Chains A and B, each alone.
Chain A
Amino acid sequence: MENIKTQDPKIIAFVCNWCTYTGADLAGTSRLKYQPNIRMIKLPCTGRIDPVFIIKAFEKGADGVLVSGCHPGDCHYNAGNFHARRRWMMFHKLLDYMGIDENRLHFSWVSASEGKKFVDVVNAFTNKVKTQGPFEKYAKINKEFVINE
C-alpha cells in the first residue's frame, strides 16, 4: 500500500444546470458533507459536453473527471442526456487508447432531488481516484514536447 500515494486528487466535474448542479445545491441546503476535491463546471445540459472537455481536463492536471446529468428521460431539453450517453459509450471505448484508466472517469445520473446521491457519488468517486494516485502521463508529455511551458 505504500506505493499508492494518498495525496489529494484534483477532480473536475461537468454537470448539467438542471439536475446535478441543483442536486449539489440540495446537498448544500441539506448540509450534507462530502470530500472537497471536486470542482464543478456548470453546463446547461450534459448534451453540451464534448469528450474533448474531458481530455482537456486530464491534460490540465485533473486526476479524475466526473460527468453527471439528469436521469434518462428526465432531461430538461428532452434528449440531451441521451446524446451524452451515446457519446459516452463511444468515448469509453477509447479511454484505453488515450491512456486513461477507466477508474479515473465516472458517469452518473443525479437528479435535482438527489442531494444524498450526489454526496455518495462524489465520495465514492473521490476515494476511487485517490487509490489511483495522481495522473501524470499527460503532464509528462507536456514537459517533453512543449517548450516554454
Chain B
Amino acid sequence: MKIGVFICHCGENIGRTVDCARVSKAAGFFPGVVHSVDYKYMCSDPGQNLIKQAIKDFKLDGVVVGSCSPHMHEKTFRKAVADAGVNPFLCEIANLREHVSWVHEDIDVATDKAIDLIRFAVEKVKRNTPLTTIKVPVTKRTLVIGGGISGIQAALDVANAGYEVVLVEKEPSIGGHMSQLSETFPTLDCSQCILTPRMVEVYQHPKIKLLTYSEVEKVEGFIGNFKVTIRKKARYVDDTKCTGCGDCMQKCPIKKKALSEFDEQLTTRSAIYVPFPQAVPNIPVIDTSVCTYFKTGKCSMCKKVCGRDAIFFEQEDQMLTEEIGAIIMATGYKLYTIDKKPEDSEIKGYGEYGYGKYKDVIDGLQFERIASASGPTSGEFMRPSDGKTPKKIVFIQCVGSRDESKGFSYCSKICCMYTAKHAMLYKHKVHDGEAYVFYMDIRSGGKMYEEFVRRAIEEDGVKYIRGRVSRIYEEDGKYIVKGEDTLAGVPITIDADMVVLATAMVAQPDASKLAQTVGIPYDKYGYFVEVHPKLRPVESSSGGIFLAGACHSPRDIPDSVAMASAAAAKAMVLFGSDMLEREPTIALVNENLCAGCFYCKKVCAYNAIEIKQIKDKQGNLIKEVAFVNSGLCQGCGTCNATCPSKSIELIGYTDEQIYAEISALM
C-alpha cells in the first residue's frame, strides 16, 4: 500500500504548538508511507487539490490527514480522496487539533504526540478495506400512530407535501383529547371550532388513508422499509354504506348501560354510538360489551331501522399490511385516574381525596366537559351529584405530579395553565362564585401564559393558595377541603361545592407495549425517548421513527403541534432522496468460523442479527449461522466484542485494525 500523509497547520491552530514540518518528516519514514507533506490549510481548495494531485502523482491508495477532529472535516477529506479515484474509506484522520495542539502547550511533547497519532492512523489505514456506502430504497409513505392533534398535524403536513400517509387511530374517531376541551389557554379559543376543520381536512385529504378503530399489531423492517401490520377492529357497521344519519343510535334500546368515554363518564351513551356528534368519520361502532344482540342475540333494532342496511353483525377484525418509510408516534396521554387505588405498587394513590367516592370531586378533563358548550350541561356549571350551581370550587394542582412519595416525580406542565383557565371560565359564568386554587408553584412559561395567570388572579379574582390539600371529606353536601396556606403558615379549611383535581398526565397505559412492538425506547413512566434531548428531540433512536406530542412528555397544544410539524419535516427529509445512504460501518459474519452460538443476537440492541441456515446442495441443513441485516445494523460493535470465536467483525473497526493501532504505540 502506498500511503500519503498530509499534515495541516490549520493556520496557526495546529502549527503553533505542533512542529508540523517535523511531524511530516517523521511520518515520511513510517513503513508504507511514500509521501508526506504539511500545508497551511489542508481543508481549503488548494489544500484538497494538493491531496488529489499527490494521489495522482504518487499513485497513493491510502491517505492519512493530520488535521482537526474527524467530526469536523472527515467528510471533506473523504470526498476529496474519492474525487481523486481512491475509495473514501481508505482515508483516515488523525486529530491533531482538538486532541493535541489545543490541549497541550509544550511544542516538543505535543509534536511527539502528533507523530504517535499519525502512526496510529497509518497502521489503521493499512488495514482498511475499500467500502461502499450502503444504499437502501425509501418507501415514501408515512405511518402516523395516533389521531389526536399531534397526529392530525403531522399527517396533514406530510400529506400536504405530497407524500402518502396512513393515519391509525385506536378510537372510533380522530380528534383525541383536544376535541374534549372547552376553550384553550391563553386566548380562550373554542377548542372544537379550531380542531374540527382539521379533522375534516384529514378525512377528505386524497393523500391520507384514515384507519380509525384500528391498532398497530406488528412492525417489521427498518428505516425507509417498514412493513406494518394493522388490525382494523370490527365496527359491525359497513363504513361504505353508512351515511351517519344516526337513526340506529336513536333507536338503540341500550341507553344507560355504557358511560360515555367522550364525556369522561359524566353521561351515558347507547350501545351503537359515535363518540361525539362531530366525530370523524361519522360512522358508529357497536360496543359489544353492552349490546343486547351480542349478549343474548335477541335485539337487532339498529339493523331494522338502518335504511342503508349498513349494520353487519358478522363483521370480523381485518388485518392490513402497509409498506411504510417513516413512522410518527403520536399516541398522546391519559390523565392519572384517582378513582381507584392503583395496582402499580410504586404509585400509592390519593385515598385522602376519596378514590372517586365523591361525585363532585372530578378531574380536569371532566371539568372541561362540564365547561364545554357541547358537554353534558351545555356549558352551564352544574355539579355532577345534584345539578346545582357550585358557588365555591376548589382546584387542587399537582395531584400525582411532582410527588415523589405518592405519585410521579415529573411536572405535568399543562396543569398550571388549564387550572387558571378553569377558574377563569368558572368566574366568567358564575359571577358570585368563589374559586380557590391550591398550588405548589405556578409554572407559566410560554407566550402570554404568565399574563393569563395574572389575569385570572387580578381581574377575575381567583384566590391562589400556596399549599397542599391533606384531606377532602363530605359533610352536609359540602366538601370539606383541608389544606395548608404555606405562605401565611396557617391551616385552611374550605367548604367547597365542588373540587377539581389537576391529575397528572401519564403515558397511555399500553405505550410501553406499543414501543416494544415498534422498537423504540421508553422511559420508566412509559413515555417514548428521543435520541438527544437538546439537538434531536423528535427522533427516536430507531432510524425513521419520529415522536410527536404528549407521547414523548407532557406538553400542551402548541408544543405538540410544533413537535408534530418537526416530526413531519424529519419524515420528509428522509423522503428527499430515493435511496438512503448509510455508513458501511456494520458487522459482518465469517460464516466459516461462526459456530452459531448467537450470543451476538442476544446483545444486539437492534435485532439486526438473524439466523441463517446453510444448506448443502440437496437442501439438508448443514448449520445455522448468524447473519447481519445491513439495514438494521447500526455498527456499535457490541457483537464483535461478545463473539467468542471472533467470527463477527465490525468493518472499519476490526480486531486486526485495533491491534495494529495498539501496537503502533511502541
**Which chain A residue shows the least CB distance to B98?**
A28
Q: Of residues 14 to 35 in A, which have CB atoms within 8 Å of B's CB atoms?
A: 21-22, 24-25, 27-29, 31-34
**Which chain A residue shows the least CB distance to B106?**
A36
- Residue of B71, B106, B116, B638 with most partner-chain A CB within 10 A: B638
Q: Are A33 and B663 in contact (CB under 8 A)?
A: no
Q: Which residues of A contact B98 (CB under 8 A)?
A: 24-25, 27-29
Q: Are A57 and B665 in contact (CB under 8 A)?
A: yes
Interface check A12, CB cutoff 8 A: yes
Q: Which residues of A contact B116 (CB under 8 A)?
A: 39
**Which chain B residue shows the least CB distance to A118?**
B103
| Given A44-B653, A57-B665, A83-B603, A27 contacting B103 (CB threshold 8 A) | yes
| Given A28-B69, A50-B641, A60-B666, A40 contacting B99 (CB threshold 8 A) | yes
A interface SS class: mixed
When A and B form their complex, what is the total count of cross-chain residue pairs whose Cβ atoms lie within 8 Å? 117
- Count chain A residues whose beta carbon lies closer than 8 angstroms to a beta carbon of B: 39
**Which chain B residue shows the least CB distance to A35?**
B104
Scan A58-81; emit 1 where CB is below 8 A from any B CB, else 0. Answer: 001110000000000000111110
Q: Are B605 and A78 in contact (CB under 8 A)?
A: yes
Q: Which residues of B contact A53 (CB under 8 A)?
A: 658-659, 662
Q: Are B638 and A83 in contact (CB under 8 A)?
A: yes
Q: Which residues of A contact B637 (CB under 8 A)?
A: 43-45, 47-48, 80
CA distance A50 to B637 in the complex (A): 10
CA distance A88 to B594 in the complex (A): 25
Interface check B413, CB cutoff 8 A: no
Q: Are B103 and A87 in contact (CB under 8 A)?
A: no
Q: Are B636 and A48 in contact (CB under 8 A)?
A: yes
Q: Which residues of B contact A32 (CB under 8 A)?
A: 103
CB of B539 to closest CB in A, whole Å: 12
CA distance A41 to B663 in the complex (A): 12
**Which chain A residue shows the least CB distance to B104?**
A36
CA distance A31 to B572 in the complex (A): 39
Contact with A78, one of B105, B521, B650, B658 (Cβ below 8 angstroms): B521
**Which chain A residue shows the least CB distance to B637?**
A48
Q: Which residues of A contact B662 (CB under 8 A)?
A: 12, 41, 53, 56-57, 60, 62
CB of B252 to closest CB in A, whole Å: 49
CA distance A28 to B69 in the complex (A): 10
**Which chain A residue shows the least CB distance to B531?**
A76
Q: Which residues of A contact B663 (CB under 8 A)?
A: 60
Q: Which residues of A contact B100 (CB under 8 A)?
A: 36
Contact with B605, one of A25, A57, A77, A87 (Cβ below 8 angstroms): A77
Q: Which residues of A contact B585 (CB under 8 A)?
A: 44
Q: Are B102 and A41 in contact (CB under 8 A)?
A: no
CA distance A45 to B605 in the complex (A): 13
* Chain B residues in the interface with A (C-beta under 8 A): 69-71, 95, 97-100, 102-106, 109-110, 112-113, 116-117, 120, 521, 541, 585, 603, 605-606, 634-638, 640-642, 650, 653, 655, 658-659, 661-663, 665-666
The 6 A-B pairs at the shortest CB distance, nearest first, are namely A28-B98, A48-B637, A47-B638, A77-B636, A78-B605, A28-B102
A-B contact pairs, 20 of them (CB 8 A): A12-B665, A25-B99, A33-B104, A36-B103, A41-B658, A43-B653, A45-B637, A47-B636, A48-B641, A50-B640, A50-B655, A56-B659, A57-B665, A62-B662, A62-B665, A78-B605, A79-B605, A79-B638, A80-B637, A83-B638
